[in-house]
Amino acid sequence: MTIDTESVRWASSLEVDPQNGLNNKLDPPVEFKTSGEKRNQPIPRQWMNHQFDAIYNALVDTQAQLDAIVGGSSQPTLEAIYPVDSLYLSFGATTPAAALGFGTWTQIKGKFLVGVDDTDSDFNVSGETGGAKSHTHADSFVSGSHAITVGELPATSPVSLTVTTAGSGATDAGTTNPLAGDAETSTSSISNINWAGNDEAHSHTLTGGVQSSSNVPPYMAVYMYRRIS
């Protein structure tokens, strides 16, 4: 960026009026600098020369500071702001090469940015990539046959068992106990039976399986470019 300081140069040299011995530039009083010219107030030419020269010198100084920032007036200011390996962000689709008029750029797509951290091996190199949009949860359960043991049976005490026997039709009048072939029935009960297992096999079924989850936090998409040359 270059300011055409020559087009605004005014009274840049200090001269002395040979008739009155006054300089051609005089610093206006504070009152004039604060409130400006009053109505019908004449302005000495020395004041005007001083102010225009001050503006000129301010522009020259501004140009010098810009040149120092960009490394010389031959290098455009924007190229110094966006050197090689710099980033360009925009909501618009116009490429930086078209918008700025210089450089070769590569677009960064579908990536989040994270600061380099020399103490973290995942983030200690500029330009390093990693991560995933989603992850899965795998189970480690085994679904199969299992033979239940006696020790795995539930507690059974107290337990009562009632047994009823029925006769087949004939009656023996000489006895009071029901016997096979009698028409009478008999009922007896047993308590506190100890059950014994028989190692019967059964199966476990696992439902749900492997699930996928998103790693993406809330986001806002923009166009990102890296200048490569």
What is the full DSSP assignment across 44-84?
Answer: -HHHHHHHHHHHHHHHHHHHHHHHHHHTSTTS-HHHHHS-T
pLDDT at 178: 47
Helices (H), the chain: 30-35, 45-70, 77-81, 96-100
Nearest alpha-carbon partner for 36 in 46, 26, 47 = 47
Nearest one of 194, 227, 223 to 109, comparing CA atoms: 223
* Amino acid letter, residue 31: E
Instruction: Please identify which residue in the block is written with the tokens 């026997």.
Output: 165
The least confident of 37-46, 47-56, 104-113 is 37-46
**Mean pLDDT computed over 46-51:** 89
Residue 20 has pLDDT above 60, yes or no: yes
| Residue 59 to residue 9: CA distance in whole angstroms | 10
Helices (H) and strands (E) in the chain, counts: 4, 9
What integer is the mean pLDDT of 139-153? 63
Query: Averaged over 140-149, what is the pLDDT?
Result: 63
Residue 135, pLDDT score: 84
Mean pLDDT of the 188-210 span: 59
**Tens of pLDDT, residues 73-131:** 445 678 888 999 999 999 999 999 999 889 999 999 999 899 999 999 989 999 999 98
Mean pLDDT across 10-15: 84
The pair of three-digit structure tokens given for residue 36, joined into one six-digit string: 């400006």
208: confidence class by pLDDT, cuts 50, 70, 90: low
What one-letter code names the amino acid at 66? L
Q: What is the mean pLDDT of the chain?
A: 77
pTM equals 0.43
User: Six-digit token pair at 169?
Assistant: 């039709």
Residue identified by tokens 């009922």 is: 187
pLDDT at residue 205 tops 60: yes
Through-space distance between the first and last CA atoms of the chain, rounded to whole angstroms: 21
What pLDDT sits at residue 79? 84
The residues, any chain, with a CB within 8 Å of residue 81's CB and separated by 6 or more, are: none
